[in-house]
Amino acid sequence: MKSKQITDTIIILGITIILLLIMFFSDTSSIKKQKTAISESEITKETKEIKTLFGLNPDSFLIKNGKVKKGQNLSEILTSFKLNYSDIDNLVKNTKSTFDVRKINAGNKYTAFCSPDSSNNLEYFVYEKSPINYIVYSFNDSVSVSQYTKEIESIRKYVSDTIKSSLWNAMSDAGANPLLANDLSEIYAWAIDFFGIQKGDLFKIIYDEKYVDSTSLNEFVIHAACFTHYNKDYWAFEFEQDSLRSFYDENGNSLRKAFLKAPLRFSRISSRFSNSRYHPVLKIRRPHHGVDYAAPTGTPVHSIGDGIVIKKGYQKRGGGRYVKVKHNSVYTTSYMHFSKFAKGIKVGTAVSQGQTIGYVGQSGLATGPHLDFRVYKNGTAIDPLKLESPPVEPVKQENKSRFEKDVEYWTNKFNDLKL
């Protein structure tokens, strides 16, 4: 009997110990889980991205934004934030090698980071030199200045539409940045006369648009495009050859010609090449061996090809301010009625294709702002609209395989997008 009681006691003790052990480990596990959860929470809190402004935490400051006013200088702006003139003078002297404060421009943005307490002391001052570059002045312990560049984001985009009135309007109607029309016209400048595009023409483009702080920089990288003009498809594929990026058609022929189709963008032809045109000022009929492009005063005029300036001057009873460019032994071009010449343009100056040589005006005999553009072949005036120009070098044979893969890739993209 006694032996049985001892046995029962041992069993009870054993069960009790087991229960205690279960309870202990259960509590320990719970503690560990709790600690782990806290740890994860802390990690999440520590690694949570804080949205900064110019690399600073805006929650720690009183932020004041503004724009540089016309005639305003940095000293005037900083004194409005209670900075004394001696501190400003030291700032100008000590930071001149990094940024010359005299070069701040009216209209540019600035941001002041002030202490959140009642003193509102200026701690940091940021001047936006451009949409990408900015200068940070620090007023802690000692004055310092640093230059930074914002992160640029490229976003892949696709657009297609039918032209109803103009390429610019079609871009806007399709939801694209209208300035993309400029880049597209440059690619096709040697293949399509954009003064002659018509209602019903089509375009489709795959491109990247660059952004900073969710704001477009109005900069684009076109990868592939197709422009349908008079029911003919003009393909353009981006391709790099000999370290140069250019555009080629589906067969590898360059879209770049020896001459541009027109010396300025997006205007209208107001008068064509003629052997008997009624002159609006002289009130007589006489030959007009050129093409008049009506455009606003100040519109940039480009040389249609590489060459040398052989004449620059003023014809009081004729073309007003004018420039002549000799391109080779065969072709010379003339540009008249400028409002002013481009900087650096003088006789003997070498100009490149697309370079601005002057600006539209109405100097000389002219009833309104326009460009009188003329082309001479072996000294004889020819119709600029009928000028034929040979293409530059096509895709080289050793690059053909790589080019064909690129064409296949972008063509499939167009098909997948149903553009």
CATH topology assigned to domain 153-248: Nuclear Transport Factor 2; Chain: A, (3.10.450)
- The predicted structure's pLDDT at residue 358: 98
pLDDT of residue 313: 96
Query: Is residue 38 predicted with pLDDT exceeding 50?
Result: no
Minimum mean pLDDT range among 61-65, 197-201, 288-292: 288-292
Query: What's the average model confidence in pLDDT over 318-345?
Result: 94
Q: What is the DSSP letter of 150?
A: P
Range 268-386 has CATH code 1.10.8.60: no
Residue 273, pLDDT score: 57
What totals of helices (H) and strands (E) does the chain contain, helices first? Answer: 6, 22
| pLDDT at residue number 196 | 77
Per-residue model confidence as pLDDT tens digits over 170-179? 999 999 999 9
pLDDT digits over 47-60, tens only? 345 578 898 999 99
pLDDT value of residue 28: 44
Per-residue pLDDT at 37: 30
Q: What is the dihedral of CA 97, 101, 104, 109, to 10 degrees?
A: 100
> Could you tell me the pLDDT band of residue 354, with boundaries at 50, 70 and 90?
very high
* pLDDT class of 244 with cuts at 50, 70, 90: confident
pTM of the full predicted structure? Answer: 0.65
Residue 95 has pLDDT above 70, yes or no: yes
| pLDDT tops 90 at residue 280 | no
> What would the pLDDT profile of 111-152 be if each residue is shown by its tens digit?
999 999 988 889 999 999 999 999 999 887 777 888 899 999
Lowest-pLDDT choice from 83-97, 188-202, 392-406? 83-97
Q: Residue 91: phi, psi to the nearest 5?
A: -60, -45
Helix (H, G, I), strand (E, B) or coil at 404: helix
Mean pLDDT score of the chain, rounded to an integer?
A: 84
pLDDT for 387: 85
User: Which band of pLDDT confidence, cut at 50, 70 and 90, is reported for residue 195?
Assistant: confident
CA 312 – CA 310 distance, rounded (Å): 7
Interatomic CA distance for residues 122 and 81, integer angstroms: 6
**What mean pLDDT is predicted for residues 19-45?**
41
Structural domain 58-149, CATH architecture: Roll (3.10)
Would you give the DSSP letter of residue 261? S
């110990």: which residue's tokens? 17
Does pLDDT of 264 surpass 50? yes
Tell me what the mean pLDDT of segment 243-269 comes to: 88
168-172, 223-227, 345-349, 384-388: segment of lowest average pLDDT: 384-388
Range 25-54 average pLDDT: 45
pLDDT at 34: 34
- Cα distances from 351 to residues 165, 305, 320, 326, 394, in angstroms, run 34, 8, 21, 10, 24
CB atoms within 10 A of CB 226: 20
- Residue 407: enclosing H or E segment and its boundaries? helix 400-417
> Under a CB-based contact definition with an 8 Å cutoff, are residues 202 and 162 in contact?
yes
Residue 55 has a pLDDT of: 87
Closest by CA position to 383, among listed 288, 305, 293: 288
Q: Is the pLDDT of residue 307 over 60?
A: yes
Q: Which residue has the higher pLDDT, 95 or 138?
A: 138
Report the C-alpha gap between 346 and 158 in whole angstroms. Answer: 43
Structural contact between residues 363 and 339, judged by C-beta atoms closer than 8 angstroms: yes
Is the pLDDT at 83 greater than 90? The verdict is no
Most confident of 33-47, 93-107, 181-195, 370-384: 370-384
Where in the sequence of the chain do the CATH 2.70.70.10 domains occur? Answer: 268-386
Contacts of residue 36, defined as CB under 8 A and 6 or more positions apart, other chains included, come to none
Residue ranges matching CATH 3.10.450.350 in the chain:
58-149, 153-248
* Tens-place pLDDT, residues 370-387: 999 999 988 999 998 888
